[in-house]
Amino acid sequence: MIMAEKLTITLAQLNQTVGDLPANAAAMLSVRDKARHADLIIYPELQLIGYPPEDLVLKPALVERAAAELDKLATATADGGPAMLVGSVFVRDGALHNGVALLDGGKIAAVRFKYELPNYGTFDEKRYFTPGPLPEPVPFRGAMLGLPICEDIWHPDVCRHLAQLGAEIFLCVNGSPYEIDKDTMRIDGVAKRRAIDTGIPLAYVNRVGGQDEVVFDGASFVVGPEGAVWVQMPDWTEAVVDTVWNKVPHGSSHRWRCEPGDNAVLSEHPEDIYCAMVMALRDYVDGNRFPGVVLGLSGGIDSALCAAIAVDALGADRVWCVMMPSRYTSTESLEDAGGCANMLGCRLDTVPIEPAIDGFGAMLATVFEGRSPDLTEENIQSRIRGVTLMALSNKFGPMLVTTGNKSEMSVGYATIYGDMNGGYNPLKDAYKLTVFALSRWRNEARPKIGLGPDSGNGGGPVMPERIITKPPSAELRPDQKDSDSLPPYEVLDPILLGLVEHEKSVDQLAAEGFDREVVKRIERLLYVAEYKRRQAPPGVKLGNRNFGRDRRYPITNAFRSG
């Protein structure tokens, strides 16, 4: 064994494409070509096949191709260059494992399997994988490497076991999705605890990019055994960073220390939320090969924010906004939609829907005879707009972005087959108060990964101020306001936060000072709207209880807590 006093370990924080094994392998080899000086390059969890693979990983053909592609990567290391630590799937004794392979000297030098399989929230790993045994350290050029995989460091057993067997450096590969405050939890709540508990430094490599409803923020780092952050990589962007490790005296023996490196500044609130929306939409549109997006621009805050997100994600030339006025559309809304599109620099077309409204009125006049206009006619307007936008999507190819926020989706204040039409919803996990906060922020700042307007040191503005300050309205009947049907969002959103995110009962929320009858009504609306949410398009996960992956309620449900 070659004994080294210094190691260069390159951390490669990369995006992935689930199922595109040749492209993922080529990206890893491209990094290797540029990091010939390194001893070892570390890539994120399941970098070869993409994460999360979901039921795709149950296809034998994918597993077979992953094995063949891994052999090719191993052969590439026969040139005497850097070794690679690559995440993939492995079959042992008929069981499928999530693991990492150390590729060195033209072969697969070692393989270790994930021990702790997460099975909560967005994770279903027990559906696919068998846990490996508690892993042993891997010797590498004079160092004993512990290779915990993602969830393995969220519990103490794996790191303690590796430490007892002589591990000197923890190299942890991850596919850790973004959630609000997740970076603080990873570093302070998990990684530092493992390092301090064992006295062993830990390098944490996370992927970056969107995958359907989850998005990964990167933000890889290295922490020392005293809890200090030695290296902090950026969030929301691919990055390749060298870390230099030296074997230094420690008491009567030696230990490995990482030389301090650059410490990137991570996005603060609400930029982190906005970046999550931008990256998720960008990778969804590009990953599914859409030329761009189309969306309805009503002059309201939800569609204005979605338009800004789309322009920041794709560029103004790939965003098509459509204003679809009716007799109830105010002059202010027409002006605000035009102002928003002008500020963003994107295309805006106007398609009046009155002819279609009149046509449906005539078509249904006989069967509706004797019935007064009600919610039905309001929903017809929304569905006309949905059909119009889908027609443009079908005819010209852009994906339809839907614009409903989490507050509306929670209580069913949205029209199925109408304004819920679309291929993706950036606001699906954002409550209305979050929409207001993001809009105010984006009018003053520009996200680090944004492609949209940037005025000097500020960021916009991207929408007229009146869009943010005027009372929200669906404009489906004269002088309509959201507050006609719902409590003020300052009341509604905290109630929903309690019911959805924290699973509180009516009694608990009433004890906190909320009006019991209002809470009961909101709980009922939440439950009866489940069937709508099951048919809603996907959207990026921001919190810890998004609709779909985290919160999975029955549609037919008679339970009420109050």
Residue-wise pLDDT tens digits, 62-112: 999 999 999 999 999 999 999 999 999 999 999 999 999 999 999 999 999
What's the chain's average pLDDT?
Answer: 94
Torsion of CA 215, 217, 222, 226, to 10 degrees: -90
The closest of 231, 110, 262, 180 to 501, measured between CA atoms, is 180
Question: Given 69, 116, 125, 150, which residue is catalytic?
Answer: 150
Indicate left, alpha or beta for 458 from its phi (over 0: left) and psi (-120 to 50: alpha).
beta
- Whether 428 sits among the annotated catalytic residues: the reply is no
- Judge whether 502 lies within some domain: no
Q: Which residue range(s) make up the domain with 148? A: 6-258
Shared domain check, 466 and 408:
yes
Mean pLDDT is lowest, of 96-105, 272-281, 529-538, for 529-538
Residue-wise pLDDT tens digits, 411-430: 999 999 999 999 999 999 99
**DSSP E strand boundaries for 262-359:** 293-296, 319-323, 347-350
Mean pLDDT is lowest, of 18-22, 232-236, 289-293, 478-482, for 478-482
The closest of 178, 179, 182, 144 to 162, measured between CA atoms, is 144
- Whether 114 sits among the annotated catalytic residues: the reply is yes
DSSP state of 235: B
- Which of 461, 479, 497 is the last residue before a domain boundary? 479
**Neighbouring-strand partners of residue 178:** none
Shared domain check, 276 and 214:
no
3-state SS assignment for residue 120: coil
Shared domain check, 289 and 214:
no
End-to-end CA distance of the chain: 68
Report pLDDT for 458: 62
Beta-sheet pairing, 83-92 with 95-104: antiparallel
Beta-sheet pairing, 202-206 with 138-140: unpaired
Residue-wise pLDDT tens digits, 185-234: 999 999 999 999 999 999 999 999 999 999 999 999 999 999 999 999 99
- Judge whether 524 lies within some domain: no
Q: Which two tokens mark 223?
A: 């922490």
Shared domain check, 50 and 78:
yes
DSSP state of 317: G
Residue-wise pLDDT tens digits, 385-405: 999 999 999 999 999 999 999
402/24 Cα distance (integer angstroms): 31
Report pLDDT for 1: 45
Question: Given 45, 69, 116, 179, which residue is catalytic?
Answer: 45
- Whether 512 sits among the annotated catalytic residues: the reply is no
Domain count, the chain: 2
Question: Given 69, 114, 159, 179, which residue is catalytic?
Answer: 114
- Which of 213, 237, 258 is the last residue before a domain boundary? 258
Q: Read off the pTM.
A: 0.94
